[in-house]
């Protein structure tokens, strides 16, 4: 009699992390639509601020609280403004931003080269003149 034991295979489950990319794409689409449909930049900034506050509250654990109330803080408004700028720059200066992130400078063929572009602490493209 032949006796052998057959072991069941072990299955390794890996979770993919796609949420951040998906969120960035959705965020970009929302900001672009707001910029195209609203005539007031103030309204766009406030709308992005409220959306950002709501998203942060959804991501936080229960029991911790962030800013609440009927008005946005100056920090939230500045953060919303920076998001709008970064979104617009990401659409128009894709190659320049990638070059600055990877190599610290733009290509010699870039139209921004003579303006001494750099990325600030918030990741916003700025020029040094």
**Is the domain of 80 the same as that of 107?**
no
Is residue 12 in some structural domain?
A: no
Same domain, 35 and 56: yes
Provide the CA 96 distance to its chain's centre, in angstroms: 17
What's the pLDDT at 1? 56
Is the pLDDT at 10 greater than 90, yes or no? no
Residues 46 and 86 in one domain: yes
Please state, rounded to an integer, the average pLDDT across all residues of the chain: 84
Residues 87, 98 within the same domain: no
Query: Which domain range does residue 113 map to?
Result: 93-129
> For residue 51, is it within any domain?
yes
Q: Does residue 83 or residue 17 have the better pLDDT?
A: 83
* Total domains in the fold of the chain: 2
**23 shares its domain with 33:** yes
Query: Are residues 104 and 77 both part of a single domain?
Result: no
Q: Vertex 117, ends 116 and 120: CA angle to 5°?
A: 130
* Inside any domain, residue 33: yes
Give pLDDT tens digits for 103-122: 999 999 999 999 999 999 99
The answer on 109 and 84 residing in a single domain is: no
Do 44 and 102 share a domain, yes or no? no
Report pLDDT digits (tens) over 64-117.
666 777 899 999 999 999 999 999 999 999 999 999 999 999 999 999 999 999
> Which CA distances in Å does 40 have to 9, 35, 71, 99?
60, 8, 18, 32
Do 77 and 102 lie in one domain? The reply is no
pLDDT number for residue 3 = 62
Give the tens place of pLDDT for each residue, 28-50.
888 889 999 999 999 999 999 99
């Amino acid at each position: 009699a032949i006796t052998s034991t057959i072991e069941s295979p072990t299955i390794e489950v890996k979770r993919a992390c796609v949420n951040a990319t998906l969120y960035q794409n959705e965020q970009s689409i929302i900001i672009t639509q707001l910029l195209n449909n609203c005539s007031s930049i103030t309204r766009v900034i406030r709308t992005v601020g409220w959306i950002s506050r709501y998203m942060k509250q959804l991501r936080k654990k229960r029991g911790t609280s962030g800013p609440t109330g009927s008005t946005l803080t100056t920090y939230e408004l500045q953060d919303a403004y920076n998001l709008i700028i970064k979104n617009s720059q990401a659409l128009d200066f894709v190659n320049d931003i990638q070059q600055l992130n990877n190599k610290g400078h733009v290509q010699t063929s870039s139209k921004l080269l003579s303006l001494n572009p750099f990325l600030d602490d918030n990741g916003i493209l700025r020029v040094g003149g």
